[in-house]
Amino acid sequence: MLLPLRNVFTKSLICHRAFSASQQNFNSGKKGLVLGIYEKEDAPTLTKAGVAFDNLVSGKLKEMLTLSGPPLKKGKSRSLYGLHQDYSTVVVVGLGKETAGVSDLEQWNENKENIRTAISVGCRQVQDLEIPCVEVDPCEDAQSAAEGAVLGLFEYNELKKKKKTVVQAQLHGRSDNEAWHKGVLYAEGQNLARYLMETPANRLTPTMFAELIEERLSAVQVNSNAKVHIRPRSWIEEQDMGAFLSVAKGSDEPPVFLEIHYSGSASATDNPLVLVGKGVTFDSGGISLKPSSGMDAMRGDMGGAATICSAIVTAAALKLPLNIIGLAPLCENMPNGRANKPGDVVRAKNGKTIQIDNTDAEGRLLLADALCYAHTFNSRAIVNAATLTGAMDVALGSAATGVFTNSTWLWNHLHEASIVTGDRVWRMPLFEHYSKQVTESQLADLNNVGKYSRSGGACTAAAFLKEFVTVPHWAHLDIAGVMSNKDEVPYLRKGMAGRPTRSLVEFATRLSEESQKL
Ligand code: BES
Ligand code: MG
Ligand code: ZN
């Protein structure tokens, strides 16, 4: 049976245009089928769906597989033709060992990662053949299969005349509809973050970012359970957010403080999870100008805001039973005549003064004020995400998001969530050692760069943020290293990665389950 994929982001700029066209082709019977196969010493094993299909074609699937080459290794694919009238091609993909599970060394579920990778390979194969519809083997884990399909097929080509065929992915078979749907929502959430991060800075200003999130959230909300406040400069001034304002004034583009509320809990008074995201829609470095080579990547410097907002849109689409508040200070970091100058001193919302020795360390200035504001809510936890330091990339590369937290409870939840999603986190230190390096400033209470500027750059940035935190459960996620993908994550194409949106969603899911138990 065919179970059409419901696109909950109905106003999606990413997918909706293709719907009528693919539906037409789908009706004419042109579609692909992706089936998984496990490695085994003696004989490869088909999945349940594979076995059923093989029976349907009287054993021809197995026969053709044996005739056409050696057993399929993990992540490898083979396209077969003429097997069944409903499918113009059947792509068989290697899932690795059936016994794979959580790997202690890798800190992720290998089986889930294998499914995501294999399914993405198969779906892209169908896309290359310009077939607009693909049915996907749930591989006994429909959520991971859906994630592999929807993440693997995504490509940002909004601004090109020549576009890849938009492929609609559907679950093959009758079972696991709910898990499939969940996987689609998780992946669409990450794709929304990828879309926002990839969009050029001249096409996604702070105002446009806020309006797009408002639109997406209103499309998925139920009974007005989501509210959006797009706060203008005057509000930011009233809030005494001097650190944020000092960055924003270096650009002609007006800043925005985006505040979103999702109230999914049965009780509106349940303490919310507060998510905060750095939203620098372009980071030139300001007067401490960055080198021009690679500067274009700084259109993705709103990755923190993109991932936390996308996670909240996804939580709303999933109707998670908890309350979440999202805060995103949005602005550009540019070097105009009013821009911050090295040595300038500004005052943050909590009254602390900051000496700005490097205008390129702007993210912590925005976040200082946003964290102060986050403390005005009676939160269960505050989690912020930011493409904060190049040093984070030096430390862990794109393997994992660095997590700096004062709460082992919070760490455990984030860590466990990331093992399931495969979008990993790794704990980093918040030692007093680093705090000393930002609190010894010649002119002010704090300095925006560490005393020994290059050493432990990700840790001194985290120590700076800690100066604005008094709650017992806070985590800072430095996502600079996972901002973009070359080919490290096989089921993501080259480009902005939208990481760790799925881990944030899984974390929120776990938190909502914990609150229901209480
Ligand atoms: N947005 C950058 C950090 C970044 C670098 C993100 C590479 C993604 C990829 C941040 O604003 C920045 O410029 N940080 C400086 C801090 C330094 C001046 C203390 C850095 O990392 O060089
Ligand atoms: Mg910077
Ligand atoms: Zn930045």
Which ligand approaches the C-alpha of residue 342 most closely? Answer: 1
Pocket of ligand 1 (CB under 6 A): 283, 301, 358, 360-363, 387-391, 393, 449, 457, 480, 483
Task: Specify if 253 maps to a domain.
Answer: yes
Task: Specify if 32 maps to a domain.
Answer: yes
* 340/488 same-domain check: yes
Question: Are residues 309 and 262 in contact, defined by beta-carbon separation less than 8 angstroms?
Answer: no
Number of helices (H) and strands (E) in the chain: give both, helices first. 16, 23
- Paired sense of beta strands 168-172 and 226-231, if any: unpaired
CA dist., res. 5 & res. 65, Å (int): 29
Stretch 82-97: mean pLDDT: 97
* 409/498 same-domain check: yes
Domain holding 110, by residue range, is: 2-175
* 145/241 same-domain check: no
Which ligand approaches the C-alpha of residue 297 most closely? Answer: 1
In this prediction, what percent of the chain has a pLDDT beyond 90? 91
* 154/255 same-domain check: no
Atom of ligand 1 nearest to the CA of 363: 11
CA dist., res. 208 & res. 177, Å (int): 35
CA of 388 to the centre of ligand 1 (A): 6
A 10 A CB-CB count for 471 gives 17
pLDDT in the model for residue 14? 35
Task: Specify if 320 maps to a domain.
Answer: yes
Atom of ligand 1 nearest to the CA of 360: 13
Kindly indicate the confidence band of residue 461, based on its pLDDT and cuts at 50, 70 and 90.
Answer: very high
* 358/432 same-domain check: yes
Angle (nearest 5°) at CA 406 between 404 and 412: 75
Checking if the pLDDT of 168 tops 50, the result is yes
Closest Cα to residue 352, out of 444, 430, 459?
444
Residue bearing the CA closest to ligand 1, atom 16? 361
* 86/201 same-domain check: no
* 148/250 same-domain check: no
CA of 500 to the centre of ligand 3 (A): 17
Residues ≥6 apart with Cβ < 8 Å to 409: 473
Atom of ligand 1 nearest to the CA of 301: 1
Domain count of the chain? Answer: 2
* 113/216 same-domain check: no
Task: Specify if 184 maps to a domain.
Answer: no
Q: Which of 175, 208, 239 is the last residue of a domain?
A: 175
Kindly indicate the confidence band of residue 2, based on its pLDDT and cuts at 50, 70 and 90.
Answer: very low
Token pair recorded at residue 470: 């008094």
Stretch 150-179: mean pLDDT: 95
Cα end-to-end distance, the chain, whole Å: 40
User: 157-160: long-range contacts at Cβ-Cβ below 8 A with a sequence spacing of 24 or more?
Assistant: 158/13, 158/195, 158/199, 159/200, 159/203
CA of 280 to the centre of ligand 3 (A): 6
Task: Specify if 183 maps to a domain.
Answer: no
> Which of 360, 362, 476 to probe ligand 1 with, by most ligand atoms within 8 A of CB?
360
Stretch 233-260: mean pLDDT: 99
Task: Specify if 182 maps to a domain.
Answer: no
At 409-453, the pLDDT tens digits run: 999 999 999 999 999 999 999 999 999 999 999 999 999 999 887
CA of 285 to the centre of ligand 2 (A): 5
Which ligand approaches the C-alpha of residue 390 most closely? Answer: 1
The CATH number assigned to the domain holding 389 equals 3.40.630.10
Enter the pTM of the model.
0.95
Q: Which of 126, 150, 175 is the last residue of a domain?
A: 175
* 138/280 same-domain check: no
Atom of ligand 1 nearest to the CA of 392: 21
Token pair recorded at residue 1: 């049976």
Task: Specify if 466 maps to a domain.
Answer: yes
* 201/108 same-domain check: no
Q: What is the largest CA-CA distance in the chain?
A: 81
* 153/240 same-domain check: no
Token pair recorded at residue 166: 């938009």
Looking at residue 225, its amino acid is N
In this prediction, what percent of the chain has a pLDDT beyond 70? 94
* 268/391 same-domain check: yes
Residues ≥6 apart with Cβ < 8 Å to 400: 107, 418, 424, 425, 426, 481, 482
